[in-house]
């Protein structure tokens, strides 16, 4: 078989082992599978057949480069999060390993979740897309009822004191899933307003409205961009994107005049002005961003060396969270930062490759949506810490401390891996 | 176009947008921040990450000319607090209470301090080791109790000590709270003395505590340079001792000044403004001053224009005014204490200036030995009649100086002429500050005759010729007197001889060249002769010091102010002399501002003090004495020990020592002697030797010496069986005893020493 000739000995062994397993379990051969699946692609209402998965085998196994990239990011992310967090952990928690221990546990759970999820045939999500959207709405409403967190925002659903999940994390996944589902189901009608725009706009608008009440503006930005990406890839007419753009500007203007942007505006007051002293309030407000810039600038080309950051010593508040990459820049310099960004870029590229080779449109759209989310999050996070975007709370995947967001992330990676099991990457 | 193709194409577009635009922008932004703005950002980061603690440099020491310490800095400590580390009010209360007890501070104020959310509050400065030990105990206590170490800390500080307290106080000066010189040499040489403060640069975290990693850069403080003064502590002490006594004896209203200066180098050996102040407590005022301040009442308010009629004011208003008057009086008293009268106050030099006028006249050959100057007791110039102390008749210029005759000097001045007078006035350095290295030097006040702003008239010249109606500083006067006598050179007076670095190496030797030659050597030599003659035979007799060739001139200048409100204008008594007169080494100016005890003549008030000072200072400064036979007989010698010897041996030994012997009692061995061993009596005095117990109870009566001459006093003493030690002006046949150390009528043992002081009556200055 052509696929076997292009693989390593190890993969070949795995493949043969799984083939032996499969042949002993069932008489079904590859060929009928494949022909049937081709038919599935062509048919708008496919009759799908469950694929047996093997852990790493090509075609039906995990995409190894993608897994390696994820592991690399996870290890580097944990290391840097630890490096950034230990002074804060020491001074504020009395235990230098406070954040590392927790994040490590979530990373291990996350890995397990990722592998587990990769086994789940993503086509199941078709039937859950509406349900998950419903859960998303429920969570968004629930946080509004629950008591507010620090800063008067309603974002977290707590489970005890230990674990909390951001309602917006669910929303982001729910919207990607819903749009992937919709886009694949009505792919041929996506160039119409009724199928292409209306449902997506309704979901986006309603979710954005609820997020506005939290408020959580950065998430609105992310889901809006994600919606646009999904619709774009799903094949809507370009004019709708133009119209959407105009509408967006209109909405922002509307919010501007109604004063609902107060929170964001407060945040934005110091936007881009972190290094210029205007008054005490502004100086205090931009403290975190300014110290982030100090950290980044201190790194120079080669950085101060791993663990050598000075800004993490209580100058940069919460260096383990959104601003962890500032410490990365300080310690590893531009070269280190660029290498990490390269790995992120590889992740995005590999995710897109996986998605494009998915067997069906749902897989393609779901994968593209999820991987775009990661890429978007990375870009926005760094624009925030470099003072090109207002400081609105966008975490850096794999790096920022936070159990629920890491679990969500690993879950999403699992979904992409599940897509990879169906795509025959080597075939193209 | 197929649906899948469109999806693929759009996805590739998306990938390009995300990677190229998104990641590209991010990398570009990071590159800009890290490479272009990096340096600036890093500088700002480092600025906040480093804590910069200054280390005080130790202020240099001030030594006298022989290396005795006049001013020194010793280590003390500053207590600082970091109240941000407090957890609760209980801790604050505890620390405030303990600090208040240890440091004697107000507990309520301290409690307020503990509530600040800062890391640096200065609690108390300049605490000494005893308090420091207690603070260290408190630190330990806080550590044990609350497990906190950074709340209280001790920083190095320095405190200035002046071992001789008020000695040369106006010259040395004192320092303020921040170790900065405020007066005297401390102020003038502040930059040399201060040194360079160092810094401890440490990394600190966002809450200003130390970073766990090692980043420490110490820039050591460079201790200040030390100064070696030209002032000699011994000379200064002698000067101040005599000046203080004279200020009391003569009831001097506005303090006295004495300067001793090397006539050839301008080095100031002593400079005293008496009474000075305790340098260790510069803000303390004397009891007398305090009494005056306490006595401030309604009359004072009226007198000093605080209120026209204080009785009309309400009680609170009046008290307010009295408080104001008191605080102003206190400030005035302090600034008066600190003022260095020798350089900051101007006075009319009076007759002392006649040596300058005569020098001009001789240098200009305006007068001749044959010129005669007539004095009829007064001199009429335009509408002014100038009186003289005597009616001197016809004199040559020598006699004019010795008589200190004002009319004669008016004539000499007229011969010099206004323009020459002004030129020499400038040449002698009166029109400019001397430039002595002390702060607060005043300028003269004189009529000008510079062709631009002529305001000197004939009357001005007339009175200026004998030193009236223009004001100069004492330091200008003595500097000019040096020029008159040292061969004509105007020297640069100075008080600092050397600057040493912290290890004692010489950084700079201050030697000053004479500024210019004002008069010729010949004129200077003639002036020395005239001044010596003046001390030997004329108005300066009271300035004579046995064994030394002294030249000098007295001065009694009118202040034209009534300082004590007795309706009579008061005077300044001064004497300026040099020694030895043939080859001058030292000049000394003694000056009393408004002696109120009745006698105000320079010859009566200042000259004897000059003599007392010089009689101690000259031997100390190794100026060799050459006594006349007559003087030798009056010089005190130390008695030996004759006790225990046989009468014959004792008599022989005592005779050999130059004493006469009187034996009392019948014994053969000397059991006791009077005066005792080591007493000072003149050669030829009598030592009484006792050979038994009974005779030692014998007494003699002290006679009155007052009004007797030296010879008579010696005779009287011999008659009474006692010894006299002679002080004051004993060389002149006109001298009369004016005081005795044991009063008349006292019963004393035979041979007891009575000190008798002599003075001449001369008033011609």
Question: Mean pLDDT throughout B89-93?
Answer: 88
**What pLDDT is recorded for position B146?**
84
**Burial label, B16 (beta-carbon count in 10 A; 0-12, 13-18, 19+):** exposed
- Other beta carbons within 10 Å of B295: 11
Question: Mean pLDDT throughout B69-97?
Answer: 86
Report the Cα A390 to chain-centroid distance in Å: 20
H or E element in which residue B570 lies: none
Which of A275-284, B105-114, B225-234 shows the lowest mean pLDDT across its residues? A275-284
Say whether A345 and B23 touch across the interface (CB within 8 A).
yes
- Predicted confidence (pLDDT) per residue in B35-48, tens digit: 998 888 888 888 77
Alpha-carbon span B165 to B160, nearest angstrom = 11
Compare CB distances from B41 to A294, A314, A388 and report the shortest one's residue: A294
- Predicted confidence (pLDDT) per residue in B488-530, tens digit: 999 999 999 999 998 889 989 987 788 999 999 999 999 999 9
The residues pairing with B758 across neighbouring beta strands, listed in sequence order, are B728, B737
Helices (H), A120-187: 124-145, 167-185
Specify the higher pLDDT residue, B658 or B183.
B183
Chain A CB contacts of B44 under 8 Å are 275, 294, 297
Alpha-carbon span B509 to B718, nearest angstrom = 56
Helices then strands, counting H and E runs in chain A, come out as 16, 2
Q: Find tokens 């009556």 and name the residue.
A: B761
Say whether A315 and B25 touch across the interface (CB within 8 A).
no
Compare CB distances from A301 to B6, B34, B205 and report the shortest one's residue: B34
Say whether A315 and B48 touch across the interface (CB within 8 A).
yes
In contact, B730 and B678? CB cutoff 8 Å: no
Alpha-carbon span B150 to B144, nearest angstrom = 13
Say whether B14 and A372 touch across the interface (CB within 8 A).
yes
Helices (H), B253-294: 287-294
The structure tokens listed for B40 are 């600036």
Segment 91-110 of chain A within 8 Å of chain B by CB:
91
Q: Which of A172-181, B119-128, B145-154 has the highest mean pLDDT?
A: A172-181
Say whether A297 and B7 touch across the interface (CB within 8 A).
no
Alpha-carbon span A231 to B521, nearest angstrom = 114
pLDDT of residue B588 exceeding 90: yes
The predicted model scores a pTM of 0.64
Compare CB distances from A235 to B7, B203, B206 and report the shortest one's residue: B7
The residues pairing with B648 across neighbouring beta strands, listed in sequence order, are none
**What pLDDT is recorded for position A195?**
84
**What pLDDT is recorded for position A21?**
55
CA distance B84 to chain A (A): 15
**Burial label, B51 (beta-carbon count in 10 A; 0-12, 13-18, 19+):** middle
Question: Mean pLDDT throughout B683-711?
Answer: 81
Q: Does B597 touch chain A if contact means CB atoms closer than 8 Å? A: no
User: What three-state secondary structure class fits B333?
Assistant: helix
Say whether A301 and B3 touch across the interface (CB within 8 A).
no
- Residue of chain B nearest A274, judged by CA positions: B41
Residues 6+ positions from A348 with CB-CB distance below 8 Å: A371, A372, A374, A375, B15, B18, B19
Q: Does A294 touch chain B if contact means CB atoms closer than 8 Å? A: yes
- Predicted confidence (pLDDT) per residue in B464-498, tens digit: 999 988 899 999 999 999 999 999 999 999 999 99
In contact, B359 and B528? CB cutoff 8 Å: no
- Predicted confidence (pLDDT) per residue in A209-228, tens digit: 998 888 888 888 899 899 98
Question: Mean pLDDT throughout B570-593?
Answer: 92
- Residue of chain A nearest B38, judged by CA positions: A297
Strand order across the B571-579 sheet: B268-274, B256-262, B586-593, B571-579, B551-558
**What pLDDT is recorded for position A19?**
56
Alpha-carbon span A62 to A421, nearest angstrom = 5
Half-sphere exposure of A56 (CA within 13 A, CB side): 13
Alpha-carbon span B339 to B435, nearest angstrom = 17
* Max CA distance (Å), chain B: 158
pLDDT of residue B308 exceeding 80: no
**What pLDDT is recorded for position B520?**
94
Q: Which of A176, A187, A294 to mutate to test the interface with B (most CBs of B within 10 A)?
A: A294
Percent helix / strand / coil, chain B, rounded to 5: 40, 25, 40
Specify the higher pLDDT residue, B624 or B244.
B244
CA distance A195 to chain B (A): 16
Indicate the pairing of strand B660-664 with strand B686-690: parallel
* Low pLDDT (below 50) residues in chain A: 1-8, 11, 24-49, 426-428
- Predicted confidence (pLDDT) per residue in B152-175, tens digit: 888 878 888 999 988 999 999 999
H or E element in which residue B54 lies: strand B50-55
Alpha-carbon span B667 to A124, nearest angstrom = 145
Q: Does B207 touch chain A if contact means CB atoms closer than 8 Å? A: yes
**What pLDDT is recorded for position B481?**
95
Q: Which of A414-423, B450-459, B682-691 has the highest mean pLDDT?
A: A414-423
Chain B CB contacts of A355 under 8 Å are 11
**What pLDDT is recorded for position A410?**
94
- Give the closest residue to B586 by CA, choosing from B224, B215, B271, B227: B271
Q: Which of B153-162, B246-255, B304-313, B637-646 has the highest mean pLDDT?
A: B246-255
**Burial label, B440 (beta-carbon count in 10 A; 0-12, 13-18, 19+):** middle
Q: Find tokens 């230098």 and name the residue.
A: A96
Q: Which of A297, A335, A374, A389 to mutate to test the interface with B (most CBs of B within 10 A)?
A: A297
Say whether B23 and A91 touch across the interface (CB within 8 A).
no
**What pLDDT is recorded for position B232?**
95
Specify the higher pLDDT residue, A54 or B603.
B603
Chain B CB contacts of A341 under 8 Å are 23, 26-27
Compare CB distances from B27 to A338, A349, A376 and report the shortest one's residue: A338
Alpha-carbon span B503 to B634, nearest angstrom = 50
Helices (H), B162-262: 169-172, 184-188, 190-194, 233-249
Taking CA atoms, A392 is separated from A217, A294, A354, in Å, by 7, 19, 31
Q: Print burial letters for B681-704: b (CB count within 10 Å at least 16), e (below 16).
A: bbeebbbbbbbeeebbeeebebbe
Q: Please, what sign has the CA dihedral across residues B108, B110, B111, B113?
A: positive
**What pLDDT is recorded for position B173?**
93
- Give the closest residue to B33 by CA, choosing from B42, B22, B24, B23: B42
Q: pLDDT class for B213, splitting at 50, 70, 90?
A: low
- Other beta carbons within 10 Å of B593: 22
Segment 342-361 of chain A within 8 Å of chain B by CB:
344-345, 348-349, 352, 355-356, 361
Question: Mean pLDDT throughout B276-295?
Answer: 87
Q: Which of A298, A306, A344, A385 to mutate to test the interface with B (most CBs of B within 10 A)?
A: A298
Supply the mean pLDDT for chain B.
86
- Give the closest residue to A123 by CA, choosing from A351, A419, A420: A419
The structure tokens listed for A139 are 């969570």
């Amino acid at each position: 078989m052509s696929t076997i000739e292009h693989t390593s000995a190890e993969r070949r062994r795995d493949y043969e082992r799984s083939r032996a397993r499969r042949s002993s379990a069932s008489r079904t051969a590859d060929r009928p599978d494949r022909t049937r699946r081709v038919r599935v692609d062509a048919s708008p209402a496919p009759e799908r057949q469950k694929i047996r998965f093997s852990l790493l085998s090509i075609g039906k196994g995990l995409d190894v480069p993608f897994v390696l990239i994820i592991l690399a990011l996870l290890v580097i992310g944990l290391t840097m999060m630890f490096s950034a967090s230990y002074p804060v952990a020491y001074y504020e928690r009395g235990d230098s390993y406070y954040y590392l221990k927790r994040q490590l546990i979530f990373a291990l759970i996350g890995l397990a979740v990722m592998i587990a999820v990769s086994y789940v045939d993503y086509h199941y999500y078709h039937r859950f897309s509406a349900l998950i959207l419903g859960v998303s709405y429920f969570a968004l409403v629930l946080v509004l009822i629950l008591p507010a967190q620090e800063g008067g925002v309603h974002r977290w659903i707590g489970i005890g004191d230990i674990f909390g999940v951001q309602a917006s994390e669910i929303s982001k996944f729910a919207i990607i899933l819903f749009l992937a589902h919709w886009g694949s189901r009505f792919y041929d009608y996506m160039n119409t307003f009724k199928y292409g725009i209306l449902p997506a706009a309704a979901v986006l608008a309603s979710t954005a409205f609820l997020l506005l009440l939290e408020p959580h503006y950065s998430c609105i930005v992310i889901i809006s961009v994600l919606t646009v990406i999904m619709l774009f890839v799903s094949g809507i007419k370009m004019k709708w994107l133009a119209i959407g753009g105009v509408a967006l500007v209109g909405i922002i203007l509307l919010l501007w005049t109604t004063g609902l942007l107060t929170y964001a505006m407060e945040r934005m007051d110091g936007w881009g002005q972190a290094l210029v002293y205007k008054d005490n309030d502004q100086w205090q407000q931009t403290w975190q961003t300014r110290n982030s810039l100090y950290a980044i600038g201190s790194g120079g080309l080669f950085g101060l060396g791993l663990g050598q950051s000075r800004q993490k010593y209580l100058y940069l508040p919460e260096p383990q969270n959104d601003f962890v990459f500032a410490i990365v820049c300080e310690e590893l310099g531009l070269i280190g930062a660029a290498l990490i960004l390269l790995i992120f870029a590889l992740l995005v590229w590999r995710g897109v490759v996986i998605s494009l080779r998915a067997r069906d449109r749902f897989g393609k759209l779901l994968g593209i949506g999820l991987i775009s989310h990661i890429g978007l999050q990375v870009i926005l996070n760094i624009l925030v810490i470099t003072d090109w975007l207002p400081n609105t709370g966008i975490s850096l995947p794999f790096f920022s401390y936070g159990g629920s967001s890491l679990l969500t992330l690993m879950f999403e990676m699992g979904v992409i891996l599940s897509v990879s099991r169906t795509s025959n990457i080597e075939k193209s | 176009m197929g649906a899948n193709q469109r999806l693929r194409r759009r996805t590739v577009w998306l990938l390009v947008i995300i990677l190229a635009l998104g990641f590209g922008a991010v990398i570009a932004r990071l590159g800009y921040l890290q490479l272009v703005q990096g340096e600036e950002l890093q500088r700002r980061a480092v600025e906040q990450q480093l804590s910069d603690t200054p280390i005080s440099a130790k202020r240099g020491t001030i030594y006298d000319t022989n290396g005795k310490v006049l001013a020194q800095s010793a280590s003390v400590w500053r207590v600082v607090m970091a109240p941000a580390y407090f957890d609760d009010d209980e801790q604050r209360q505890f620390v405030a209470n303990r600090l208040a007890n240890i440091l004697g501070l107000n507990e309520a104020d301290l409690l307020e301090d503990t509530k600040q959310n800062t890391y640096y509050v200065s609690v108390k400065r300049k605490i000494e080791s005893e308090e420091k030990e207690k603070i260290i105990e408190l630190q330990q206590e806080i550590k044990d109790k609350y497990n906190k170490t950074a709340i209280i800390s001790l920083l190095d500080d320095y405190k200035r000590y002046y071992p001789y307290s008020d000695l040369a106080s106006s010259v040395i000066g004192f320092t303020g709270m921040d170790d900065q010189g405020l007066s005297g040499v401390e102020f003038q040489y502040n930059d040399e003395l201060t040194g360079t403060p160092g810094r401890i640069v440490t990394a600190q975290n966002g809450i200003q505590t130390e970073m766990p990693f090692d980043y420490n850069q110490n820039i050591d403080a460079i201790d200040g340079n030390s100064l070696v003064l030209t002032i000699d502590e011994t000379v200064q002490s002698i000067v101040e001792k005599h000046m203080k006594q004279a200020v009391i004896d003569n009831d001097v209203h506005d303090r006295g000044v004495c300067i001793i200066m090397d006539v050839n180098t301008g080095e100031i050996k002593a400079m005293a403004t008496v009474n000075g102040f305790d340098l260790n407590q510069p803000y303390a005022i004397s009891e007398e001053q305090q009494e005056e301040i306490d006595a401030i009442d309604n009359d004072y308010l009226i007198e000093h224009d605080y209120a026209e009629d204080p009785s009309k004011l309400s009680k609170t208003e009046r008290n307010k005014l009295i408080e104001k008057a008191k605080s102003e009086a206190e400030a005035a008293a302090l600034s008066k204490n600190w003022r260095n009268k020798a350089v900051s106050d101007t006075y009319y030099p009076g007759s002392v200036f006649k040596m300058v006028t005569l020098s001009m006249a001789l240098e200009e050959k305006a007068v001749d030995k044959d010129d005669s100057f007539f004095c009829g007791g007064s001199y009429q110039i335009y509408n002014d009649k100038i009186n003289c102390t005597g009616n001197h008749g016809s004199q040559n210029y020598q006699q004019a100086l010795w008589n200190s005759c004002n009319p004669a000097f008016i004539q000499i001045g007229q011969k010099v002429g206004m323009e020459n007078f002004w030129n020499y006035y400038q040449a002698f350095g009166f029109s400019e500050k001397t430039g002595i290295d002390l702060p607060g030097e005043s300028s003269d006040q004189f009529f000008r005759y510079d062709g631009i702003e002529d305001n000197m008239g004939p009357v001005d010249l007339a009175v200026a010729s004998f030193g009236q109606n223009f004001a100069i500083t004492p330091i200008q006067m003595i500097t000019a007197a040096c020029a008159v006598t040292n061969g004509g050179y105007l020297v640069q007076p100075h008080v600092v001889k050397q600057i040493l670095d912290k290890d004692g190496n010489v950084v700079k030797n201050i030697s000053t060249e004479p500024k210019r030659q004002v008069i010729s050597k010949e004129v200077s030599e003639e002036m020395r002769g005239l001044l010596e003659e003046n001390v030997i035979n004329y108005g300066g007799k009271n300035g004579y010091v046995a064994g030394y060739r002294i030249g000098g001139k007295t001065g009694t200048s009118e202040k034209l102010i009534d300082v004590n409100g007795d309706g009579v204008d008061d005077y300044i008594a001064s004497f300026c002399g040099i020694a030895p007169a043939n080859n001058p080494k030292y000049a000394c100016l003694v000056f009393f501002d408004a002696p109120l005890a009745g006698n105000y003549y320079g010859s009566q008030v200042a000259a004897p003090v000059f003599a007392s000072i010089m009689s101690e200072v000259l031997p100390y400064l190794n100026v060799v004495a050459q006594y006349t036979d007559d003087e030798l007989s009056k010089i005190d010698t130390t008695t030996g020990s004759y006790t225990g010897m046989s009468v014959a041996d004792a008599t022989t030994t005592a005779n050999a020592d130059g004493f006469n012997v009187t034996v009392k009692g019948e014994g053969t061995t000397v059991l006791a002697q009077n005066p005792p061993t080591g007493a000072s009596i003149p050669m030829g005095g009598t030592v009484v030797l006792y050979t038994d117990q009974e005779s030692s109870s014998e007494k003699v009566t002290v006679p009155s010496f007052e009004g007797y001459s030296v010879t008579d006093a010696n005779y009287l003493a011999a008659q009474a069986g006692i010894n006299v030690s002679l002080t004051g002006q004993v060389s002149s046949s006109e001298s009369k005893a004016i005081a005795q150390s044991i009063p008349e009528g006292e019963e004393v043992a035979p041979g007891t020493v009575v000190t008798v002081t002599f003075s001449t009556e001369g008033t011609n200055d």
